[in-house]
Amino acid sequence: MISSYFPRLKRFTLCGLVVLLAACGSSSRPGPIDGVRVGDSSSLKDMVPASQLEAAASRQYNAMKQKAAEKNALAPDNHPQVIRLRGIAKKILPHAYAWNPEAQAWKWEINLFISDQVNAFCMPGGKIAFYTGIIEKLNLNDDEVATVMGHEIAHALREHARDRIAKAQLSNLGASVLSSALGLGNLGGQALGQGLQILGLSFSRADERDADLVGMDIAARAGYDPRAGISLWQKMGQLSKDKQPEWLSTHPSGDSRIYEIQRNINEALFLYARAKNTTVDKLPNYKP
């Protein structure tokens, strides 16, 4: 896969490797000039072609839908919660493209899977899934749904899956990896072929903080109260006392997440107030 980005050299010296790492380690900072600020996004992800990752994600998402439909576990288009989710997504997505212009061409899709799992995700290329468990067990209001959705969309916008795959590849700098990088193999092909296991990648704490903040930004611009992030994690904390939800298996929890939200809440409240055609000082108290 990486061979499409680099010439098919027959030799790759240590010096060349250093140059490659330096180039891939550079970063870019997309996003609007106002609102919540986040760190730079790594360009290591450029080692993994987006088109191939998105195609693999789309295939697996469709397979997941088909399997669920066969078990009557795919909520129909007229399901009240499906209508609700798609309505929230319709408001959020126009504010997402500033964080990744390529996302405007993605074939966005959102579906609801009937399952007790407390889970939600957004696959590369904009394939969103919610489980009834996360909505019902946490009794999510619209602001909290938007918080979850914004967070998952942010993972896709910031292309954390591509970045994690690239870092996993670079963690094994041996002869076989180098030959793959030179077009003599299919670097990352196994990861792409694993389909939904792409979503099983454990994002770093930096990735999770990034998704929390970017998600809060786009949801606030769409008119959803960013203070919902605090009530969401409080609910999640209560639920996890008995059994850790699936959604938390790859999402570090704890007071640190609420702390980061509170640190950046003023910028997000400004965006939310602007969306509501008011000012921050005139916003009513938030009631979960």
Highest-scoring range by mean pLDDT, 37-46, 216-225, 236-245: 216-225
Q: How confident is the model at residue 40 (pLDDT cuts 50, 70, 90)?
A: low
Mean pLDDT of 162-169: 70
Q: Are the CB atoms for 237 and 253 separated by under 8 Å?
A: yes
Amino acid of residue 123: M
Mean predicted lDDT score pLDDT of the chain: 78
Candidates 54, 109, 152, 208; catalytic one: 152
pLDDT of residue 225: 98
Question: Active site includes 152?
Answer: yes
Q: For 75-112, what is each residue's pLDDT tens digit?
A: 999 999 999 999 999 999 999 999 999 999 999 999 99
Q: Which of 15-19, 108-112, 121-125, 138-142 has the lowest mean pLDDT?
A: 15-19
Mean pLDDT of 168-174: 59
Closest CA to 52 of 132, 161, 146: 161
Amino acid of residue 188: G
Q: How confident is the model at residue 251 (pLDDT cuts 50, 70, 90)?
A: low
Kind plus residue range of the DSSP H or E element containing 117: none
Closest CA to 45 of 156, 194, 174: 156
User: What's the token pair of residue 167?
Assistant: 């870092």
More confident residue, 137 or 238: 137
How far apart CA 117 and CA 152 sit, in angstroms, is 16
Residue 143 has pLDDT above 90, yes or no: yes
